[in-house]
Amino acid sequence: MRRARRQAEARPRRAGFSLVEVLVVLLIVGGLMLAITQLLEGTRISRDTIHNIQETQLAGPAIMDLVERDLRSLLAYDRRAEDLLQVQDRVVYGMDADALDFAATTNSLLPVQVEQRLVRSDVCEVGYRLRPNPTDDDFLEIYRREDFGIDDEPFDGGTYTFLHDRVKRFNVQVFTEDGIDAEPLDDWHHEEDGEPLPRRLEISLTLELAPRINREQLRYAPVEMRTVSYFRVMRLSEALFQALEVDPVPVIPELSPPDEAEAAPAPPPP
């Protein structure tokens, strides 16, 4: 009996964990993994938020700069007043979707193949149009229209270039006077007794943030936090109105014959 007890005491005891200890360790590890996962998810959401907001903030000014650059080069010399500028007041799905068309001296952005060569025009027709977003009725798509050269229909035709697909508003207002009390007009078509061009244009553009932001970060945020609006005021230069007052008249110059003294050859030196 004593010998058996001594042999049992002489055997090394096997080290191990109880079930409670294992469960406690698993609970601690699971808590750590959950905290790390939440930290990584928050980091990813912050990164996507900054990226998408920055992308939207860059897209809006880029579109407005493009519109302003085209309007700054509006062509008025040797043009009929009714072919200078057209602004149409349009509403699509309850959202402002005005159309803007004119002729400009800006270089065309889209090259055209002429006799196996890609060339760009020094003058072209330019316009901005909107249409419903085919995948989401809550938004509009904005396009830039460009036609190589200028034809008899300066407000139609051309090639459309996609600019943005989450537009909530594109509104153009024109003013016949440049002052604080001037009344805005929603559209512009030249009338026989009216001014050929407006004195000032006010353009507003509203874009909404990317879908991931609305779905994850701003799900319950008000609409004004999900949209970014841009506003631009443009005053047409006085040179455009002066160009309209000049009527080019082609004239063939008359060359007078040279004087006999000038036509006679010089005497040889002595």
> Which tokens in the block code for residue 142?
């904005």
Q: Is residue 68 part of a domain?
A: yes
pLDDT, tens digit (0-9, with 9 covering 90-100), for 138-150: 899 999 999 998 8
Mean pLDDT of the chain: 81
Cα–Cα dist 122/148, whole Å: 9
Q: Is residue 252 part of a domain?
A: no
The range of the structural domain enclosing residue 160 comes to 49-244
Which H or E run contains 72? Answer: helix 19-72
Whole-model pTM? Answer: 0.70
Compute the Cα dihedral for 110, 112, 113, 117 and give only its sign.
Answer: negative
Q: Is residue 26 part of a domain?
A: no
pLDDT at 247 over 50: yes
**Higher pLDDT, residue 190 or 182:** 182
Residue 92 C-alpha from the chain's centroid: 19
Q: Is residue 124 part of a domain?
A: yes
Domains in the chain: how many in total? 1
Q: Is residue 134 part of a domain?
A: yes
Neighbours of 21 (CB within 10 A): 10
Q: Is residue 135 part of a domain?
A: yes
Q: Is residue 265 part of a domain?
A: no
Q: Is residue 32 part of a domain?
A: no
